[in-house]
Amino acid sequence: MTKPSFLKVFNTPGASIDIRHEKVPYFKNPWHFHPELELTLILEGSGTRFIGNRLDRFNKTELTLTGPNLPHYWHCDPIYYQKDHKLNAEAIIIRFPENFLGNGFFLLPEMYHINNLFKMSYRGIKITGDLKEQTANVMRTMMQMDGAERIIVLLQILNSLANSSEYQILSSISVGKTYKTADMKRINKVFEYLIKNFKMPIRLNKIASVANMNPSAFSRYFKAKTGKTFTEVLQEIRIEHACKILVEEDYTVSRACHECGYIDQSYFIKQFKRITHQTPLQYQSRHNKNFTI
């Protein structure tokens, strides 16, 4: 994870929306934010997704909408960073400002549902069900469009999303409204350290020093900016990794426990169940067709 910054999206003068197709060894954008909304369709790749104060596994076919200034980051699995690997990370990304059709357009009574969608996007939205597949197909065709046709189709996509119940709100707070660039730099250092070292014991005084703060001040600051305590975020990173290796690597519960930085297996199971609402064995059996108890 590299140093985060404000990301300037539009490089073409006069462009109202930006559509790009990325096919890379791994997703390279750091933990970042920008004033545009972003609709992201993952075509290939897997790893951990950070949106606001929420982190989850991501896989291909995932579709999300992130709102203005909401920090986000797709961190690919370690194999994508290994030399000479043959995998690709691939996505179609549409970025657009809230006022891409004019300052007052989405305030019209007829645009009420889309305006409400924009408000929900400040917490990040994951699109699910048949709507996800339908939207993904339309996004693929948009790559062949130009000019007004793209704008018309984007409006149709937004209308479909706004009038559907097939979605999940991600971040528990509208983090994008509370971040400044200085905050992003400090919080990023913390996340970078946690991602690299979550398998090791991490004490409060150590993580506070990473943020160049004393422990009590750091605890208050981190909770105010992310909506969660440092310990809660660390547990989520560890359990997210456990979910991956239980299914993809077919690890035993004992091995997953130690691989994720836990010493006490009963405590690991307790935290796993708190976060996923399943025991490790239940999670493994439900996500791995070849697993037998």
Instruction: Pinpoint the alpha helices (H) of 121-214.
Output: 129-142, 148-162, 181-197, 204-210
Output Rg (C-alpha) for the chain, integer angstroms: 20
Position 233, amino acid: V
Q: Average of pLDDT values for 43-60?
A: 90
CB atoms inside a 10 Å sphere around CB 42:
23
Provide the β-strand partners of residue 57.
48
- Tokens encoding 237: 């990173």
Q: What mean pLDDT, rounded, does the chain reach?
A: 87
Q: How confident is the model at residue 176 (pLDDT cuts 50, 70, 90)?
A: low
Please state at what angle helix 148-162 crosses helix 112-120, rounded to 10 degrees. Answer: 80
Q: Average of pLDDT values for 248-264?
A: 93
Nearest to 211 by CA among 243, 239, 233: 233
Nearest to 198 by CA among 276, 279, 258: 258
pLDDT at 282 over 50: yes
pLDDT value of position 7: 42
Place of tokens 């930006």: 18
Please state at what angle helix 129-142 crosses helix 148-162, rounded to 10 degrees. Answer: 170
Vertex 112, ends 142 and 96: CA angle to 5°?
A: 35
Topology, domain 18-169: Jelly Rolls (2.60.120)
Record the pTM: 0.76
pLDDT at 90 over 80: yes
pLDDT at 268 over 90: yes
Note the pLDDT tens digit of each residue in 138-149: 999 998 888 899
> Cα separation of 123 and 171, whole Å?
5
In the chain, CATH 1.10.10.60 sits at 198-287
* Segment among 16-30, 58-72, 95-109, 185-199 with least mean pLDDT: 185-199
pLDDT at 181 over 80: no
* Segment among 42-51, 147-156, 179-188 with least mean pLDDT: 179-188
Distance of CA 251 to the CA centre of its chain: 25
CB atoms inside a 10 Å sphere around CB 187:
21
For the chain, the residue count is 293
In the chain, CATH 2.60.120.280 sits at 18-169
* Segment among 9-13, 204-208, 226-230, 266-270 with least mean pLDDT: 9-13
Q: Does the domain spanning 198-287 belong to CATH 1.10.10.60?
A: yes
